[in-house]
Structure 1
Amino acid sequence: MLKSMRDANPGDGGLLDSDQTRFYREMFDQQLALNMAQQGKLGLSDAIVRQLSGHPADSPIPPTSPAMMGDPLATLSQVQRIRSSIRMPSPAPLPKPTPFVAPAHAANQSYPIDDAPFEPSSPVAFVRRMWSHAQDAARQLGVAPEVLIAQAAHETGWGKSVPRFADGRTSHNLFGIKAHRGWQGDRVVNSTFEFVNGVAVRQQDGFRAYRSYRESFNDYVNFLQVNPRYQEALTRVDDGAAYLKALQQAGYATDPKYAWKILGLMNGPSFDKALATLKSASAGPIE
């Protein structure tokens, strides 16, 4: 090792370099190598241990534990004894997972559902959406479907003012039928105008809620047929104007101009345009 170090840095060319210098340097290296062979170390490790442990330079090095210097199994046993003497903190128990519980109303309460969501953009769109339902209801009552379309358009502002739930879901109620006693279905509370002594008064009231617009038309038919006070109106179905006036006189609405407003809508340009577009369309009404 010393010879390799000398060869790596020969130091030739110095002022003190000569054959005699190199001779004595080789003798020194040989003596140093002999001492290293006898002791097996340079002594640097002892000096480092003394400095790090705070012992004087000429004091002996404290002996190392025999168990740690000898057999590896003894070393392992010593480590295990040290580890067992140290009290490790117990791991915190994992929290129990909270099972998912569905809201109670999800299984026990039904809500209006419409398989074809509809947001009316115009009278034409409203008529196309409701026409087939109006035809079915009109056949059961014997009245013209245009009369039912006009009444539904008046009650809802062409579908834009259908009573809604607080979360925005529609009730599909097209004819303003209220959820009075005896009604077993869903209901929604909305603001409405009622006429008292000829004056419109805003108030909150409950309205029936349906699962579809078809259900709304079907319930309208049933509502008229099972209530005795509307029997007179059902005898006037051949004349749309007479039918609407009979409904008003029977108390269907509190507005004294209820029938007149619906007839005005039927004779207006928006209604005529919507019907003309429907009849000229090659495709059938949207279901």
Structure 2
Amino acid sequence: MVISPDISSKLAVDAKSVDDLHLMAKKNPDEALQKVAQQFEALFMNMLLKSMREATPKDGIFDSQQTQFFTQMHDQQLAQKISTKGIGIADMMVQQLSRNNKSIEPQTSISQTNNILSTINSNQQAPLIEGMHPNDKSGQLWSVYRSPSNAVMSAGKIDSAIEGLTAPIQGDIQKKSAPSQLANFIDRLLPHAKTASESTGIPPNFMLAQAALESGWGKHEIRHADNSPTHNLFGIKAGANWKGDVVEKTTTEYINGVPQKAIEKFRAYSSYAEGFNDYAKLLMDNPRYAKVLNSTDAATFANGLQRAGYATDPMYAEKLMRILNSEKLQNREFI
């Protein structure tokens, strides 16, 4: 098969164009990546144009199936023309997936190009929407218009459409960056966990696992209104006896096993060292946690916290055990 030199002038919903892009991805992945990114941007622009068309009343004397047919053709060509100059989406995708990006492995360009093409291929199998051009098979992009009440596409739905198409790309990027983020979380907090371990007798990796569970490895740490950290990685609430800073946040509490949202007050610290120190003090000063102190067995630690009522989540111990037994902690030295 010979690659047509004007492949960029074709819209990716055309099956022949997709086949050509697949072949180009094998022969010249760098060039194909640019073309596929451009086609993605064209599909997105086509979606925006269609949303504007849907928002326009269609009860004029010149409105008919024939005019809608040619309008669809015109919009496809217009979207393709706009995408040649672009609005930045294609450039962003190419920059993230280029072989020159050191965070991406050398063969990623080929696999990611095929991922995007596979997404476009799957779109071709989607049902046609009423009034759509017969050759426009990108039904998944337009599925939000099935209801008349959705004539104008909201920003959230546009974001969802983009998110669905770019999920394979973002997934790989997140997987590659996750190890360094987790390692940074452990390295940053390990000295404080070791200090708390000296007073509680609890191994530092046990405390790091609980901090990871409570804060989502630091991604969901409780924060002030200005987004500054509270350094509260253990979800410790502020009771009547707490005299320090307080932050109010919505949290999930389990009442009789049923999750319910509630606004609670949480303690805020000036540093992670202070946060770990207060966590250790909480365990040592409360008789409920007597069996948790000096735990050297992961199951004893996790189940002891749940039985003592540290959290209302009935699966708390099981979730904590999963982190304690994960490779993230098993492959690290905490001495």
> Structure 2-normalised TM-score?
0.45
Say if 2:321 is the partner of 1:263. Answer: yes
SS at match of 2:279: helix
**1:152–1:272: structure 2 CA closer, same or farther, 3 Å change rule?**
same
More relative contact order, 1 or 2 (CA 8 Å, 6+ apart)? 1
Deviation at 1:144, TM superposition (A): 1.0
Quote the Cα distance in structure 1 between the aligned partners of 2:286 and 2:210. 19
Supply the AA of the counterpart residue of 2:326: G
Q: What residue number does 1:188 align with? A: 247
Q: What residue number does 1:207 align with? A: 266
User: Deviation per CA, 1:215-234, whole angstroms, max 9, x where unpaired?
Assistant: 01000011111112222322
Determine if contact 1:154/1:262 at 8 Å carries over to the other structure: yes
Query: Max radius of gyration: which structure?
Result: 1
Q: Which runs of 5+ in 1 are unaligned?
A: 1-119, 280-287
Matches within 5 A, 1:23-172: 122-172=181-231
Q: Which runs of 5+ in 2 are unaligned?
A: 1-178
Q: What residue number does 2:295 align with? A: 237
Determine if contact 1:138/1:145 at 8 Å carries over to the other structure: yes
SS at match of 2:260: strand
User: Deviation per CA, 1:155-200, whole angstroms, max 9, x where unpaired?
Assistant: 0000111111111111000111100110000010112111111122
SS at match of 1:166: coil
| RMSD of equivalent CA atoms | 1.9
Q: Give the paired residue count.
A: 157
**1:200–1:121: structure 2 CA closer, same or farther, 3 Å change rule?**
farther
Supply the AA of the counterpart residue of 1:200: P
Q: What residue number does 1:53 align with? A: none
Quote the Cα distance in structure 1 between the aligned partners of 2:229 and 2:254. 25
Deviation at 1:258, TM superposition (A): 0.8
Quote the Cα distance in structure 1 between the aligned partners of 2:183 and 2:330. 10
Say if 2:306 is the partner of 1:227. Answer: no
User: Identity over aligned residues, as a percent?
Assistant: 45
User: Deviation per CA, 1:95-147, whole angstroms, max 9, x where unpaired?
Assistant: xxxxxxxxxxxxxxxxxxxxxxxxx9611110010011111111111111110
SS at match of 2:299: helix
Quote the Cα distance in structure 1 between the aligned partners of 2:250 and 2:328. 26
> Structure 1-normalised TM-score?
0.52
Quote the Cα distance in structure 2 between the aligned partners of 1:253 and 1:268. 21
Determine if contact 2:236/2:267 at 8 Å carries over to the other structure: yes
Determine if contact 1:123/1:271 at 8 Å carries over to the other structure: no
Determine if contact 2:193/2:208 at 8 Å carries over to the other structure: yes
SS at match of 1:233: coil
Determine if contact 1:143/1:240 at 8 Å carries over to the other structure: no
Quote the Cα distance in structure 2 between the aligned partners of 1:203 and 1:121. 33
1:246 is aligned, of 304, 321, 325, to 304
Larger helix proportion of the pair: 2
Deviation at 1:260, TM superposition (A): 1.2
Q: What residue number does 1:283 align with? A: none
Structure 1 residue runs of 4+, over 6 Å off? none
